[in-house]
Amino acid sequence: MQFPKVDKIPLTDHIVLPEMVKVRQHFAYEDLADPVATLKEQMLALDPATIASVKDKRIGISAGSRGVPFYKEMMRAICDQLKAWGAKPFVFPAMGSHAGATGEGQKEHLKQFGISEEYLEVPVLSSMEVVCVATLDDGFPVYCDKYAYEADGIILFNKVKPHTHFKYDHESGLLKMICIGVGKHIGCSTFHSAGYDNFGPNLERVSKAFLEHVNVVFSVGLTQSPSDKINHLEVIPTDKFFERDAALQAMAKAEMPKLKLPRIDVLIIDEIGKEISGAGMDPNVTGRTERYSQLAGFHAIAPDIEKIVLLDITEKSHGAAVGCGVADIVSYRFVNKFNFSFTYTNIIAAKSFQMGAIPLYGNSDEDAIKMACAHSFLKDPNEVKIVRIKNTLMLEEIECSVPLLEEIAKHDDMEVVSDPYHWEFNEEGNLW
């Protein structure tokens, strides 16, 4: 399907976009020098009884849909170490309804990160079949990937980060990997049916029941710094599962990158994607979520943003435009990459219909940006305070319009690193 260029009454002819400058935001953090070596070292430090327990056993390793640095190398390290201990490892996708909610789609999704049978030298077993391993007192079912359930044990691997829809001690991490990732499409849909207001407590009680019925040998949790590199990594014994997931969540929140400016008229985001955030663009950065009961929590940690413009969808998302519904305007490029099947499958499972709504779209990047400037409730749209970022993970290097220089000067942890310049749009009116 091709969306047409829109013949509309021009309201942007008077808009002259201000000059921009490159700005570096400074964050305090320290990345791991060698995450793969850290992982190997911590695996070797596990209790001898845990190591001995995997000999001659089939052990499944969960692989999620989020990209992390050294993802394939860390997965390979886990597989190699398990084989060295005499185990028979395999990898299984644990990504809920992502990648079209099909076994083949999820296996292909992992290949984008280099996670394949050829590289890992172990099977990658992908299916949407699940087993109901328990039922809670109120009838809430607990699901597990069929391949994982039939194994002798599993290893949970996931990054830990603030969730995009709620606030709690456990958010997007190892517990969520159990409840939604390992639960596949039916587990994801069932879990979301209980609503976000109960999400945190439900993560705890479903995970507790899961651990009573599925042998989790150990888990690997990690966090990423504002540089998008790995700054914390832990191999977690199962008896420390809840304690360490909460600790990693606290670290992730404390070191979460953010936009340091208090007010932005127009935020331009070059790309959104499922490997960037479950919401395409992280509400912890934008303050935008469709969950009205949770808005205050996200507004408190984000700038006051009047308009958000989205320019593109990452290639790894294959047109899954989850998150665009809380933006204001998208580009012509963006709307014509919209994959209805991938987008709708995910938002229906997550019960987040607004996240897939298509906003207004411009006829080009320039048209979309000028539309946002013209409708940002400014006395002088030519003095618009614009910020442009690549995505909500990469916030160290950003672009700001010259009208923001006075505010930037108030921040010791912000540095202007270029002279002012005008954007150059190509013959299609796009930035690239």
Sign, Cα dihedral of 288, 171, 348, 140: negative
Per-residue confidence (pLDDT) for residue 336, from 0 to 100: 95
Task: Tell how many helices (H) and how many strands (E) occur in the chain.
Answer: 16, 15
With beta carbons less than 8 A apart as the criterion, state whether 239 and 247 touch: no
Per-residue confidence (pLDDT) for residue 380, from 0 to 100: 81
How many degrees, rounded to 5, is the angle at CA 415 between CA 410 and CA 417?
A: 140
Q: Report DSSP letters for 18-86, one per residue.
A: PPEEEEEE-------S-HHHHHHHHHHTS-HHHHHTTTT-EEEEEE-SS--TTHHHHHHHHHHHHHHTT
- The candidate with the shortest Cα–Cα distance to 109, out of 117, 98, 120, is 98
| 432 residues of the chain, pLDDT tens digit each | 689 898 876 678 888 999 999 999 999 888 999 999 999 999 999 999 999 999 999 999 999 987 789 999 999 999 999 999 999 999 999 988 777 779 889 999 999 999 999 999 999 999 999 999 999 999 999 999 999 999 999 999 999 988 777 777 888 789 999 998 999 988 888 888 877 778 888 999 999 999 999 999 999 999 988 888 899 999 999 999 999 999 999 998 888 889 999 999 999 999 999 788 878 888 889 988 776 555 666 777 789 999 999 999 999 888 888 889 899 999 999 999 998 888 888 777 777 787 888 999 999 999 999 999 998 888 887 799 999 999 998 999 999 999 999 999 999 999 999 999 999 999 999 999
User: What is the pairing mode between strands 414-416 and 20-25?
Assistant: antiparallel
User: What is the pairing mode between strands 216-224 and 153-159?
Assistant: parallel
**d(C-alpha 86, C-alpha 57), whole Å:** 8
Per-residue confidence (pLDDT) for residue 254, from 0 to 100: 84
With beta carbons less than 8 A apart as the criterion, state whether 60 and 155 touch: yes
Per-residue confidence (pLDDT) for residue 293, from 0 to 100: 52
CATH label, 35-254, candidates 3.90.1150.10, 3.40.50.11440, 3.30.360.10, 3.40.50.10470: 3.40.50.11440
- The candidate with the shortest Cα–Cα distance to 407, out of 296, 259, 287, 297, is 259
pTM for this predicted structure = 0.75
Sign, Cα dihedral of 398, 401, 402, 403: negative
Per-residue confidence (pLDDT) for residue 1, from 0 to 100: 67
Span(s) in the chain for CATH 3.40.50.11440: 35-254
Classify 86 in phi/psi space as left (phi over 0), alpha (psi -120 to 50) or beta.
left
Amino acid code (one letter) for 302? A
Q: Report DSSP letters for 297-313, one per residue.
A: HHHTTS-EEEEEEE--B
Per-residue confidence (pLDDT) for residue 377, from 0 to 100: 85
Residue with tokens 């790995």: 230
Collect all residues with Cβ–Cβ distance below 8 Å to 389 and sequence separation of at least 6: 259, 267, 268, 269, 270, 395, 398, 399
- The candidate with the shortest Cα–Cα distance to 190, out of 105, 148, 127, 132, is 132
- The candidate with the shortest Cα–Cα distance to 205, out of 231, 233, 168, is 168
Task: Give 266's strand partners.
Answer: 307, 386
